[in-house]
Structure 1
Amino acid sequence: MGDLCITEEGRIINADGYILHSNDFSVNESSLTGESFSVFKDNKSEDNMVYGGTVTVSGLAVFEVTKIGKETRVGKIGESISTIKEEISPLQLQIQKFVKAMAVIGFVIFLFVCLYSFIDSGNFVTSLLSGLTLAMSVLPEEIPVAFTTFMALGAWKLMRQGIIIKRSSIVETLGSTTVICTDKTGTITQNSMQLKYLYNYASDASYKQEEFGDPVLGELINYAMWGSEPVPFDPMEITLHNIYEKTQQQDLRNEFKLFHEYPLEGKPPMMTHLFENRDKERVIAAKGAPEAILSVSILPENEKNKIRGIIKSYGAQGFRLLGVGKAKFEGDNFPTKQQDFAFEFLGLTVFYDPPKKDIDKVFEHIYAAGIKVKIITGDNADTTKAIAAQAGIISLAPPIDGSEIVSRSEDEMIALAEQTTLFTRMFPDAKLAVVNALKKKGEVVAMLGDGVNDGPALKAAHIGVAMGDKGTEIAKSAAALIITNDDLEKLIIGIAAGRRIYANIKKAVQYIISIHIPIILTVSLPLFLGWVFPHIFSPVHVIFLELVMGPTCSIVYENEPIEKDTMKRPPRAMSDTFLSIKELGISIVQGVVITLGVLFVYQLAVQQGNTEEKTRAMVFSTLIFANILLSYANRSFHYSILESFKNRNLLLLGISIAVLLFLAAILYIAPVAGFFNVTALSGYELGMTFAVAAVSVLWFEVYKMFRRIAHQKVERK
């Protein structure tokens, strides 16, 4: 309590307190009030307090802390916030429905088998074990475990690569991204803001960096600095203060005090600062978008058109410009709006913010993955077009200005958002409108940004992506994903991870379905058909098989590398069913064929006069071999099993060896064999069970080969 704190643009305020001093200070209190518009405050305001959890939108403030922690306004409502449930993804919903349906089926089967077996045998314990064995074989409890494992491990692996995921389920959504909306400054560009040129209107000439010391530029540099914040935090304003220090013989910043200001506002925006010294000498300086300064200047129209041509010329080269103006005013009855001053146009500051290194290659990968790109920036159209071209962004439609968006109907906005690539002079509400329009069109939107004005759009997008290095706190708090080093290429890594995880989850679930079918049918058919050994499996056998399947479908398949053409396919639609009828049909056929092989071994063993223990050993071994081979065959539903071996997965090899060792222990170590109620197999018998398992599984390789041939024929056409 009583501590002094400083807050500035983009920072989250961490305590309640009274404002003591402020410059151009506005705060977003939507977390408390629900009002999205920022509120300007100073120590003379009726409400001169700041509140913890709110965000500084502009300017700077010094405040004295009065409350912290649970005593703050936001702390008192924290309990209600904690009750808000996280929205589950479509994939989670589909998996939940599938598992619940199978649980109901398992319970019904349990009751039916118990009743049937009891009527048939009159033995309650045997009947209960039979029903329990079948129910255990039906329940796909591995699926929710696999889903959680996939998402958690996926988020962990991304974190190691500098991508922080706030919700593990967002990893799945990443792979579905169809549109990337990106800010320009600091995201595509380096946000270095090098001052390259100064255009001085009085001399009608442009000056390079080495000429900034020319006395003719003194007034332009002075007013550009006075038009900036006294304590600069924006890269351009910091540069202007540095140029002032280097070029001016006398530093007057300590002699003049800011006594009145107009915040950054307007479309396009500008800001005006009024300074005064002890001798009542005044400096009235304005800085902002060149179009805004021109529109309020006293220049004749023909001169304005000349300046517009210069602005367009610089913009076409990718430069970012600020206009500078000055005004005179006597008395203290200042205009309500800064635009009502009579400004004298002084010139332009010309900054260059170059694209990041190799950013064009990043966008090549994005386009190759079938993902569209939109630039949503506060900069002007000419600069944005130039930077987009340098970054390799494809734009066929003309840029659209933010002021043109607000008046559009919903249908017009959807069409505009779909067709346009470059959105310029955008303000927060306009950015939000574009994101919402794309979502209504059915796109899965990833929004990239680092500034305060990106906050609403980041929150509204399916995947809000903030820059961790130069990003503001409001951007980070609104985003679902943070790239720690501001490298846009990390987003490609994230999208690839999302696609890999989604594809591997499907493989895991198809594997689970395929291997559950022979377990279910091997347990149930001998009982229902009245075969000689009706209780071929007991719960212990099913438990062992579950222990094999669990690690295979979760850890092993999660570790499966991405298939080589995954990032060259178009993104899947979020509305797609997790498993299509065709995919589900393939899994069922795989399971049925394995069942035929297992039951063939059963009948062969019985016809050869083997005991129940020997028959059980042969059936169990066949199912174990089929399980291992299926895990290899289902690594890809397109490429052959030999091609899949090129993708190293040491976990799969390790699990396979471990299962074979366990099988050997079950068959050939007497106490273990007694526990499983099996007997040892000869080399011939073991080879025969492996051969049947191989035929039951590897027929799928022939199917995949014909599919590849058919696919190649279609591509040639």
Structure 2
Amino acid sequence: MIDPTDFGITGLSDKEVLASRKKHGENILNYKKQNNTLDAFLSILKEPMVILLAVASSIYFITGHFGDGIFLAMAIVLVGSISFYQDSKSRNALEKLKDITQPNAKVIRNSKIIEIHSNELVIGDSIIVEEGNVIPADGTIVHSNDFSANESLLTGESLSVFKDSEKNNNKIFTGTTVASGLAIATITAIADATELGKIGKSLEAIQDEKTPLELQINNFVKKMSLFGGATFVLVWGINYAKSFDLLDSLLKALTLAMSILPEEIPVAFTTFMALGAWRLMKMGIIVKQIKTVESMGSTTVICVDKTGTITQNKMSLAMLFTIKNEKISTLQDKLGQEELDLITTAMWASEPIPFDPMEIAIHETYANQCSSDERKNYNMVHEYPLGGKPPMMTHLFENKNGDLIIAAKGAPEAFLEIADLLPNQKQILLTTIKKLGNEGYRLLGVGTALFDGKNYPKTQQEFLFDFKGIVAFYDPPKENIKEVLQKFDDAGIQVKLVTGDNPTTALSIAKQVAFKGYDMGMTGDDLMKLSETELQEQVKTTQIFSRMFPDAKLRIINAFKANGEVVAMIGDGVNDGPALKASHFGIAMGKKGTEIAKEAASLILVDDDLSKIIDSIAMGRKIYNNLKKAIQYIISIHIPIILTVFFPLALGWIYPNIFSPTHVILLELIMGPTCSIIYENEPLEKNAMQQKPRPFSSTFFNFRELITSIVQGLAITIGALLVYQYAVYLSYNEEVTRTMVFMVLLFSNIFLTLVNRSFYFSIWTTFKYKNNLVPLIITITLFLAVLLLFVKPFTQFFEFETLNATQISVSFFTGLFAVLWYEVVKWYKRTKTI
């Protein structure tokens, strides 16, 4: 590997870095000024529940009910604190995600190349940017190899712009991407002083698109709010017609409005998504869009690369084949001049500062095997980036004497038509490719060319190459890959191998890891000959896609999508960008992935571990299922509160206003933590990863689930109203009646929380689930019940009365049976699946 000092670049010292940072600040864009704490506070003040509480509290104060007014004022503080806490948890999770997703940058400091977070760059730093990188700061090029950048982010121009230190056009800009080559540049501007920072205000107008689930939830909450508004007006009218007391009737109408408003739902959605993304991050999976976390559970097809995904990405140069000697050698053999020339040519065909594992292996082998190191004596003067079908790349180096080296490497088949090979040599080459490919080696053909002058051909294929031979690399399969592939199969997810390798190598590795359908494959060229309809049928049965290029990968993704599949695509290179973007879930590798791949992807696997995708899918299913449980719980428990407030008033029962705003808000405070804390912390149900993926288009509130919640809510309502009538029948006063009905709702809340932990497994099974918050929340709820029943100041304030054992038992067993009947339904579901 070339030392940066060879170019006369030593970079800044540690002392110079500190001085520059002190003078110019950090490399962080601050175009969007936000006061997150103030924004969160203002957002809480706009919440409908807080507004209703403020109005009700004001009416109590106006009418002289200072105790109730103070309680509701305290409730505002408590509700606001809970919301603020939830918001801060979500924001902290997102901030930590932002920190870890901060792209890295290669920088020369103290004469060494190191890798740092891009926000640690300072003015004066010397950075190295190469194909696939997103440029982290504005700078001036001091050295480059066939360097071009895509600056469409700033200019709107889609074509790449070639730049070097000798041209007037020698500037690079933050946020643009490297399309080809490599450059070393001195940073001249960071953060808001960059070109991107100057136009940053325009980025504030960009709005995040809402996911289908988010839209469904927002629409549901909006409908419930409209229903609550209409009911509020109706109840206000009924009360006012009876009493002609404006404030008192308004207060009673507000009671019902509070019971209808499902303000916990959007809070639960945000919390579940943010904490899910945070949990994934701790597992080594970075989610760039937290709202898509739950959608991962719908994945039906995963397109995986071979290198670093199926294999360990530990490339070692294992075999050498020279066309002149027509023989295969290992590095342990005594190498002749032909083998050394092959290694040397392969080195010149690689990047002078290698980052690809194969190129690193080539440079290391050259340093170990070749007696004299010529790298310092030559400078790259031109580069043809990876291209063509099959792909290849060519580098041109020149020394001070004007001696020119032209070296190329790529798919061995790429040289069949552009090298001076005799017919029998072509046959030998094809036989060798098949032999080494069948043994699982990754192959690169290597050749040299001669050329006079500086007017280089437009394409590398115009050179006539002297084919030297093949360098073969071995990348062993990952140890756990068979188990991982089996888990995908168990979860009903198809895995397709999409690789740039030749068919024999791809098939050999697939066979080693017991890849299902390894004998059903096709090449990129064959794929491109198919019509869209033919391809849509072909992808259903084809498992191995070899010699793939960008257009072919994109067609594969689109064919799966046309078949109604939910596609996840794993990629790491610049050429994977279109397919990553087109898939439902683009997944980039954290270690070997280029910045462009990471930019295009939805998820990043920090350790390049395929098993982590199983974790992300499991997390997606868990979040979706737990969020559904939470929202079904919210719907179920809101129904009895609404109807228990409404029916006595509408039907003119003896105690028409059984609950006041203080009682409703007390129930809301008990329910809120249950849904947003207990259900978020629920583990993945044991059968979740043995089920087929749910359809991506399925509605969150399907009819059956909505009916289940409504019936559960109605059952609790019937229990509460029966206890109401039971109390009236026994001539209990209003306080005892209110207390018994309230306790029915409180006990029902506890049992509903336990029963709805699963809509399939029994309550006895879910008791074994590890969720430390369940006993904690239930204990707190029961402690509240004791306070309300037996501590006189609380009992009197809420206009309750201490109940005797019989009255408590009636409330308890009514709450129990109003919920526990659903265990019979779950038992019936289990018998049907046996």
2:826 to 693, 704, 717: 704
Work out whether 1:424 is the aligned partner of 2:546.
yes
1:271 to 381, 393, 404: 393
Change beyond 3 A, Cα 1:218–1:675: same
- Cα distance in 2 for partners of 1:462, 1:441 equals 13
- How does 1:107-256 map onto structure 2 within 5 Å? 107-211=229-333, 213-256=335-378
Contact 1:19 1:43 in 2 (8 A): yes
Give 3-state SS (helix, strand or coil) of 1:233's partner. Answer: coil
C-alpha displacement of 1:278: 4.5
Contact 1:397 1:419 in 2 (8 A): no
C-alpha displacement of 1:245: 1.9
Work out whether 1:647 is the aligned partner of 2:769.
yes
Work out whether 1:370 is the aligned partner of 2:485.
no
Code of the aligned partner of 2:259: S
Change beyond 3 A, Cα 1:397–1:583: farther
Give 3-state SS (helix, strand or coil) of 1:558's partner. Answer: coil
1:395 to 517, 524, 533: 517
Q: Could you tell me which residue of structure 2 aligns to residue 328 of structure 1?
A: 450
Contact 2:323 2:425 in 1 (8 A): no
C-alpha displacement of 1:265: 2.0
Q: Could you tell me which residue of structure 2 aligns to residue 679 of structure 1?
A: 801
Post-superposition CA distance 1:558-578 (Å, at most 9, x none): 111111010000111121111
Contact 2:150 2:176 in 1 (8 A): yes
- Cα distance in 1 for partners of 2:718, 2:393 equals 79
- Cα distance in 1 for partners of 2:245, 2:459 equals 93
Q: Could you tell me which residue of structure 2 aligns to residue 25 of structure 1?
A: 147
Post-superposition CA distance 1:412-444 (Å, at most 9, x none): 444444443322223334333332333333322
Change beyond 3 A, Cα 1:484–1:667: same
* TM-score w.r.t. length of structure 1: 0.94
Post-superposition CA distance 1:190-222 (Å, at most 9, x none): 221111110111111111120153344222222
Contact 1:187 1:450 in 2 (8 A): no
- Cα distance in 1 for partners of 2:159, 2:413 equals 24
Q: Could you tell me which residue of structure 2 aligns to residue 527 of structure 1?
A: 649
Contact 1:317 1:386 in 2 (8 A): yes
Post-superposition CA distance 1:398-420 (Å, at most 9, x none): 43333445565544444444443
Post-superposition CA distance 1:355-383 (Å, at most 9, x none): 22211211111111111112222222221
C-alpha displacement of 1:513: 1.4
- Cα distance in 2 for partners of 1:314, 1:34 equals 46
Q: Could you tell me which residue of structure 2 aligns to residue 12 of structure 1?
A: 134
Name the stretch that deviates more: 162-171 or 323-332: 323-332
Code of the aligned partner of 2:791: I
Q: Could you tell me which residue of structure 1 aligns to residue 76 of structure 2?
A: none
Q: Could you tell me which residue of structure 1 aligns to residue 17 of structure 2?
A: none
Contact 1:522 1:595 in 2 (8 A): yes
- Cα distance in 1 for partners of 2:596, 2:400 equals 39
Name the stretch that deviates more: 399-408 or 8-17: 399-408
Contact 2:573 2:597 in 1 (8 A): yes
Q: Could you tell me which residue of structure 1 aligns to residue 635 of structure 2?
A: 513
- How does 1:578-589 map onto structure 2 within 5 Å? 578-589=700-711
Contact 2:507 2:518 in 1 (8 A): no
- Cα distance in 2 for partners of 1:128, 1:334 equals 85
Work out whether 1:310 is the aligned partner of 2:432.
yes
Give 3-state SS (helix, strand or coil) of 2:293's partner. Answer: helix
Name the stretch that deviates more: 362-371 or 380-389: 380-389
1:490 to 586, 597, 612: 612
Give 3-state SS (helix, strand or coil) of 1:704's partner. Answer: helix
C-alpha displacement of 1:660: 1.0
Give 3-state SS (helix, strand or coil) of 1:184's partner. Answer: coil
- How does 1:602-617 map onto structure 2 within 5 Å? 602-617=724-739
C-alpha displacement of 1:107: 0.6
Work out whether 1:560 is the aligned partner of 2:679.
no
Contact 2:132 2:177 in 1 (8 A): yes
Structure 1 segments unaligned to the other structure (5+ residues): 713-717
- Cα distance in 2 for partners of 1:649, 1:662 equals 21
C-alpha displacement of 1:244: 1.7
Code of the aligned partner of 1:187: T
Change beyond 3 A, Cα 1:349–1:677: same
- Cα distance in 2 for partners of 1:376, 1:486 equals 16
Change beyond 3 A, Cα 1:80–1:663: same
- Cα distance in 1 for partners of 2:373, 2:792 equals 94
Q: Could you tell me which residue of structure 1 aligns to residue 93 of structure 2?
A: none
Name the stretch that deviates more: 559-568 or 387-396: 387-396
Work out whether 1:298 is the aligned partner of 2:420.
yes
- Cα distance in 2 for partners of 1:26, 1:354 equals 35
- Cα distance in 2 for partners of 1:39, 1:412 equals 38
Give 3-state SS (helix, strand or coil) of 1:24's partner. Answer: strand
Work out whether 1:468 is the aligned partner of 2:624.
no
Percent identity over the alignment? 53
2:171 to 38, 49, 54: 49
1:381 to 503, 510, 516: 503
Name the stretch that deviates more: 519-528 or 400-409: 400-409
Q: Could you tell me which residue of structure 1 aligns to residue 94 of structure 2?
A: none
Q: What CA RMSD, in Å, does the superposition of the two structures yield over aligned residues?
A: 2.2
Code of the aligned partner of 2:195: R
C-alpha displacement of 1:547: 0.9
Change beyond 3 A, Cα 1:128–1:310: same
* TM-score w.r.t. length of structure 2: 0.82
- Cα distance in 2 for partners of 1:28, 1:400 equals 33
- Cα distance in 2 for partners of 1:593, 1:557 equals 22
Code of the aligned partner of 1:118: Y
Q: Could you tell me which residue of structure 1 aligns to residue 752 of structure 2?
A: 630
Structure 2 segments unaligned to the other structure (5+ residues): 1-122
Change beyond 3 A, Cα 1:290–1:536: same
Change beyond 3 A, Cα 1:274–1:99: closer
Code of the aligned partner of 2:307: T
Post-superposition CA distance 1:427-471 (Å, at most 9, x none): 334333332333333322222222222223223322222222232
Contact 2:142 2:184 in 1 (8 A): yes
Change beyond 3 A, Cα 1:618–1:396: same
- How does 1:568-583 map onto structure 2 within 5 Å? 568-583=690-705
Change beyond 3 A, Cα 1:74–1:426: farther
Contact 2:636 2:713 in 1 (8 A): yes
Q: Could you tell me which residue of structure 2 aligns to residue 688 of structure 1?
A: 810
Work out whether 1:95 is the aligned partner of 2:217.
yes
Q: Could you tell me which residue of structure 2 aligns to residue 715 of structure 1?
A: none
- Cα distance in 1 for partners of 2:556, 2:569 equals 11
Give 3-state SS (helix, strand or coil) of 2:416's partner. Answer: helix
